[in-house]
Structure 1
Amino acid sequence: MKYMITIYNNDAANVAIEGADLEEFRQVHDDIQAELRASGELVDSNELSVTDARVVRTGDGEITITDGPFTEGAEIVGGYYLVDVDGVDRAIEIAARFVEARFTPVEVRALVHG
């Protein structure tokens, strides 16, 4: 079953990742990617840029475009992993390993059409 693991980002995570946890952050991502590639569970993974990000809304026949990725929430999506694993427990196991999970939500959701 395919799951999207969405890693959010916020100020607390940024401070931690840019500080003492930076090397651990890099190593954990490297380790998880290597493990998932070797097991065949990794479908795709990427960090999301804030450069050229836009938020698009429509209403009353008009399109409103604002600089993004910032919405009304404190978190933004920082990156994702798309995995093909045996079930939700395995996806949760992977998500819990990210350093970011100490500071900000890491969401696990099954793909409906996947």
Structure 2
Amino acid sequence: MAKYLLLKHYRGAPAAVNDVPMDQWTPAEIEAHIGYMNDFAARLQESGEYVDSQALAPEGAWVQYGGQGKPPVTDGPFAETKDLIAGWMIIDVDSYDRAVELAGELSAAPGAGGAPIHEWLEVRPFLTHTPTVTE
């Protein structure tokens, strides 16, 4: 088994097949979208492939080490940006192919009008050992 992060990106600007930005969805469309994701997670819990997931609030801050004293903080990212990390799911599956298969299913979550949004999901394996440098 190997753990993978499925990183869900919210596209403020149209980028997916169903390209209505989420801030223009009706409450029922948002409820259907969240319901799909919850059902997906419940199915993975039953199969033993689910580890954890969380939606993220659209507000946040950028922080960088400033050398001395308090680090500088900049507001952002903002929901109005072109790309915002909206949430994540950790899965524990038998193979990379299974991780890609599940990401494809999650990408079919409904959006405006109930049509699949076909969003891009980033699939990232967890680092299991320290990388080595070879010359």
TM-score, structure 2 length as denominator?
Answer: 0.67
Per the alignment, residue 64 of structure 1 pairs with 72
Which amino acid in 2 is paired with 1:9?
Y
Which amino acid in 1 is paired with 2:6?
I
Q: How does 1:1-114 map to 2 (within 5 A)?
A: 1-11=2-12, 12=14, 13-15=21-23, 18-19=25-26, 21-51=29-59, 53-59=60-66, 61=67, 63-70=71-78, 74-98=82-106, 99=109, 102=117, 104-113=119-128
Q: Report SS of the residue matched to 2:72.
A: strand
Choose between structure 1 and 2: higher helix proportion.
1
Bigger-Rg structure (1/2)? 2
Q: Report SS of the residue matched to 1:4.
A: strand
> Which sections of structure 2, spanning at least 5 residues, go unmatched?
15-20, 130-135
> Which sections of structure 1, spanning at least 5 residues, go unmatched?
none
2-side partners of 1:69 and 1:102: how far apart? Answer: 22
Q: Report SS of the residue matched to 2:65.
A: strand
Q: CA RMSD in A?
A: 2.6
Which amino acid in 2 is paired with 1:36?
L
Q: Report SS of the residue matched to 1:97.
A: helix
Count how many residue pairs are aligned between Structure 1 and Structure 2: 109
Judged with a 3 Å threshold, the aligned counterparts in structure 2 of structure 1 residues 78 and 10 are, in CA distance, closer, same or farther, namely same
TM-score, structure 1 length as denominator?
Answer: 0.77
Check whether the contact 1:75–1:104 (CA below 8 A) recurs between aligned residues. no
Identity rate, percent: 31
Q: Report SS of the residue matched to 2:45.
A: helix
